[in-house]
């Protein structure tokens, strides 16, 4: 009887653990794919059920606690976040894990930033970066340092922010994560904007925009939102508030699709700020109130206070002094001068301004004394307000002294800003130099190791070396001569190619530049009846020139061996679906119907750079858009055999002549008039496709399409 009981108990326990593992695996899959607020609430319920089961391993428990905490931060339920993270901290007392120790601190730092407590976030994020670095978790290390840079920037510690960003970029490069590198670049652009290096910031944002079409489709909306935000901030810094508002509005529409409530609230606030700058106060109020509604729902007190501060500033600009003063006094009571340094300082200066405009000089002076130790954040403003307060109180000598201090502070501020700008720009140079020195050090280490190995073996092989030295010298001399001849041949070929390319590029640039010049002269002398149509032509020509230059750069990379691939293993079926999804809407918008044909691809793997393949397919679809008669047909097909996967891209008429087919992949090749470059192509798209495919060890060919146009066929080696 006892034996039967133990057998039953063992069987029951095994079944229970098996069931728990299945539920954990389901939770893990859902955690990776959850997007909407409703889905996140369901996920939290499943997390609690798993944690209450007591059947999870320590590693599984750590995963569930961490994921649940992240969901709560996203949803703004911070009390529950604190509970989950406290349980994770208790678990880590018996379960040693550098990864989850780092994630615990990163989550706490993330929550502090979300709640506006940037001062509190710093030690958590430093600890997180340290744990991840020890564990060699480069992606997480990059994230932690990026968060740390954000906290430092909010505390006006720009030099510390730059150092953290350099560490983040270094980790992102080690992780070979292009999107993380883009995230670091985005943050650097924000620092440039803060330091009035707006042109540099815009340059980075435009570079980011050019990379977005080559990212996986699921990442494109996020990066589009992030990059548009950066452009909006840059235009705000340039006081181009109408343009800034337009970009923030685009960000807001993307935020709504991405279901980020807090992001929506922050974007609405920035939209309101631009409307205030444009003196459109009714619309500004609408945006601010919508922002407040969301933030109150999420229960993020400091973010609520920030938005209320901007509303008070609007009242101040409208001359509603009593309303502004009352609301600012209420706001400042809820701020901690030690923790909320930036917010406290900002609200104080607005309140002092309200006091001075209301001729309440004593109250202005009292508030100035309260923030005296914070004056380093903006010394010139501090002494300017102090001079006004003292003058109003009748202390003319003190006012004169404060005025002198203000002028001195302005001079020092200009010098300091110059130093900060130099630091930021120099940091990039130092980073590049550091990377070069690192590579050089590694090469020297390898050389030293080789020399040591050689020394070790010399003692055993000196006789053999002496016997073969004459033959070796003869062989080496012949090989060296052959190698030099081959190098000379390659150099001559490269020079010829360079001459030909320069000649072709000059020819290609001459015509559009001449057209631009003619149109500009016509505008200058009022010779055009429809200026808007002329501007449209000019923009189109400039876009064509930009495309040509971009494509020339891509080919130059390929020619110089800097055309790097980020190879990863991908399921061929999923990759094909992504590629097809990338082009379907674009083709449809241009009156081209896409037919997708897909043969069974059971567990077929490709080792490819997905972003580069997206680039190839984008180039092919662009060709079809430019050169296919509308309405038209496009067929995108995938098949495979034992060795390779075959992608084919076909379009309908017009086609190309038989004699033109072999030359389609030549640079700047001019086809017949039906496929003229006047329609927007650079003439380099197919050359770039060829370079990308060949870099993957594949082949690309052109044929006549059964649809009446052109068929491009690509073969890529399978992972066997």
674-704 tens-digit pLDDT: 444 444 455 677 877 888 888 888 998 988 8
Cβ(714)–Cβ(616) below 8 Å: yes
With 0-12 / 13-18 / 19 or more C-beta atoms within 10 angstroms meaning exposed / middle / buried, residue 322 is exposed
- 121 Cβ partners below 8 Å, 6+ apart? 108, 109, 110, 112, 113, 147, 148, 151
pLDDT value for 501: 57
What's the rounded Cα separation, in Å, for the pair 192 and 194?
A: 5
Place of tokens 């430093």: 126
Over 60: is that where the pLDDT of 230 sits? Answer: yes
Mean pLDDT of 449-463: 42
pTM over 0.75: no
Over 90: is that where the pLDDT of 554 sits? Answer: no
The answer to whether the bond into 631 is cis (omega within 30° of 0) is yes
What's the rounded Cα separation, in Å, for the pair 209 and 205?
A: 6
Place of tokens 């020890």: 134
Place of tokens 């954040």: 377
What's the rounded Cα separation, in Å, for the pair 660 and 656?
A: 6
pLDDT value for 344: 87
- 3-state SS, 412-428, equals HHHHHHHHHHHHHHHHH
Q: What is the DSSP letter of 319?
A: T
pLDDT bracket for residue 388 (50, 70, 90): confident
- 3-state SS, 605-620, equals EEEECHHHHHHHHHHH
Higher-pLDDT residue of 19, 452? 19
Cβ(424)–Cβ(162) below 8 Å: yes
Query: 571 pairs with which residues across the strands?
Result: 605
Over 50: is that where the pLDDT of 434 sits? Answer: no
Ordered by start, the domain boundaries in the chain are: 434-560, 568-717
What is the distance between the terminal CA atoms of the chain, rounded to a whole angstrom? 55
Length of the chain: 720
- 587 Cβ partners below 8 Å, 6+ apart? 593, 594, 621, 624, 625, 634
Q: What is the DSSP letter of 320?
A: -
pLDDT value for 441: 46
Cβ(700)–Cβ(712) below 8 Å: yes
- Nearest to 114, CA basis, from 78, 149, 82, 67: 78
- 132 Cβ partners below 8 Å, 6+ apart? 98, 99, 102, 106, 138, 140, 141, 144, 171
* CA 608 and chain centroid, separation: 22
Dihedrals φ, ψ of 550, to 5°? -60, -45
pLDDT bracket for residue 147 (50, 70, 90): very high
R_g of the chain, CA atoms, integer Å: 32
User: Across the chain, how many H-helices and E-strands are there?
Assistant: 24, 7
User: CA of 194: how far to CAs of 197, 234, 424, in Å?
Assistant: 7, 9, 11
Over 60: is that where the pLDDT of 439 sits? Answer: no
What's the rounded Cα separation, in Å, for the pair 255 and 268?
A: 10
pLDDT bracket for residue 38 (50, 70, 90): confident
pLDDT value for 73: 87
CATH of range 568-717; options 2.40.110.10, 3.30.565.10, 3.10.129.10, 3.40.1390.10? 3.30.565.10
Higher-pLDDT residue of 224, 293? 293
pLDDT value for 414: 61
512-527 tens-digit pLDDT: 566 566 667 666 767 6
SS3 633: strand
Residues 351, 355, 358, 363, CA torsion sign: positive
Reported as type and span, the H/E element at residue 133 is: helix 118-134
253-306 tens-digit pLDDT: 888 887 678 889 999 999 999 999 999 999 999 999 999 999 998 888 888 999
Over 50: is that where the pLDDT of 634 sits? Answer: yes
Q: Is 239 left (phi over 0), alpha (psi -120 to 50) or beta?
A: left
Cβ(68)–Cβ(84) below 8 Å: yes
Over 80: is that where the pLDDT of 422 sits? Answer: no
């Amino acid at each position: 009887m006892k034996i039967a009981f133990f057998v039953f108990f063992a069987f029951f326990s095994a079944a229970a653990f098996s069931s728990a593992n299945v539920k954990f695996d389901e939770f893990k899959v859902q955690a990776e794919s959850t997007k909407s607020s409703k889905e996140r609430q369901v996920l939290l319920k499943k997390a609690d059920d798993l944690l209450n089961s007591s059947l999870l391993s320590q590693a599984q428990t750590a995963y569930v606690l961490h994921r649940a905490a992240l969901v709560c931060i996203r949803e703004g339920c911070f009390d529950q976040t604190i509970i989950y993270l406290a349980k994770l901290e208790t678990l880590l007392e018996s379960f040693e894990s550098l990864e989850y120790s780092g994630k615990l601190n990163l989550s706490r730092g993330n929550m502090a930033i979300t709640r506006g407590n940037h001062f509190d976030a710093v030690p958590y994020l430093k600890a997180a970066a340290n744990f991840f670095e020890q564990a060699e978790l480069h992606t997480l290390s990059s994230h932690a340092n990026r968060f740390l840079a954000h906290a430092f920037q909010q505390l006006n510690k720009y030099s510390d922010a730059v150092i953290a960003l350099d560490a983040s970029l270094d980790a992102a490069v080690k992780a070979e994560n292009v999107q993380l590198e883009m995230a670091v670049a985005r943050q650097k652009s924000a620092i440039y904007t803060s330091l009035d290096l707006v042109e540099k910031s815009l340059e980075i944002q435009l570079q980011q925009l050019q990379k977005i079409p080559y990212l996986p489709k699921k990442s494109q909306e996020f990066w589009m939102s992030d990059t548009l935000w950066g452009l909006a901030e840059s235009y705000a810094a340039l006081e181009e508030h109408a343009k800034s508002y337009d970009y923030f509005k685009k960000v807001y529409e993307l935020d709504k699709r991405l279901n980020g409530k807090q992001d929506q609230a922050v974007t609405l606030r920035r939209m309101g700020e631009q409307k205030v700058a444009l003196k459109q106060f009714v619309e500004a109020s609408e945006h601010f109130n919508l922002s407040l509604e969301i933030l109150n729902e999420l229960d993020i007190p400091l973010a609520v206070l920030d938005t209320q501060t901007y509303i008070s500033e609007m009242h101040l600009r409208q001359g509603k002094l009593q309303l502004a003063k009352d609301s600012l006094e209420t706001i400042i009571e809820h701020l901690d001068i030690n923790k909320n340094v930036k917010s406290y300082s900002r609200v104080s200066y607005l309140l002092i301004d309200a006091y001075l405009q209301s001729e309440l000089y004593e109250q202005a002076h009292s508030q100035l004394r309260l923030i005296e130790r914070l004056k380093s954040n903006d010394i010139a403003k501090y002494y300017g307000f102090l001079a006004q307060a003292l003058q109003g109180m009748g202390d003319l000598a003190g006012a004169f002294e404060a005025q002198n201090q203000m002028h001195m502070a302005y001079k020092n501020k200009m010098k300091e800003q110059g130093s900060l700008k130099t630091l930021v720009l120099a940091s990039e140079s130092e980073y590049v130099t550091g990377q070069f020195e690192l590579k050089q050090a590694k090469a020297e280490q390898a050389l030293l190791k080789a020399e040591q190995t050689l020394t070790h073996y010399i003692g055993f092989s000196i006789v053999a070396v002496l016997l073969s030295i004459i033959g070796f010298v003869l062989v080496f001399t012949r090989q060296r001569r052959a190698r030099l001849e081959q190098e000379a041949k390659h150099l001559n070929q490269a020079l010829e190619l360079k001459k030909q390319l320069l000649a072709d590029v000059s020819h290609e640039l001459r015509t559009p530049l001449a057209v631009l010049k003619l149109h500009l002269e016509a505008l200058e002398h009022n010779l055009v009846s429809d200026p808007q149509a002329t501007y449209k032509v000019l923009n189109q020509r400039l876009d064509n020139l930009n495309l040509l230059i971009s494509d020339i750069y891509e080919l130059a990379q390929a020619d110089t061996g800097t055309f790097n691939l980020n190879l990863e293993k991908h399921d061929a079926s999923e990759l094909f679906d992504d590629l097809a999804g990338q082009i379907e809407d674009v083709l449809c918008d241009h009156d081209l119907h896409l037919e997708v044909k897909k043969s069974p691809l059971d567990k077929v793997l490709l080792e490819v750079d997905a972003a580069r393949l997206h680039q190839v397919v984008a180039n092919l679809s662009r060709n079809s858009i430019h050169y296919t008669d509308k309405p038209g047909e496009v067929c995108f097909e995938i098949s495979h055999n034992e060795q390779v996967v075959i992608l084919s891209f076909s379009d309908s008429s017009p086609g190309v002549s038989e004699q033109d087919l072999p030359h389609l992949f030549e640079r700047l090749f001019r086809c017949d008039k039906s496929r003229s470059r006047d329609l927007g192509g650079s003439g380099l798209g197919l050359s770039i496709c060829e370079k990308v495919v060949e870099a993957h060890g594949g082949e690309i060919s052109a044929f006549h399409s059964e649809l009446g146009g052109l068929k491009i066929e690509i073969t890529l080696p399978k992972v066997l």
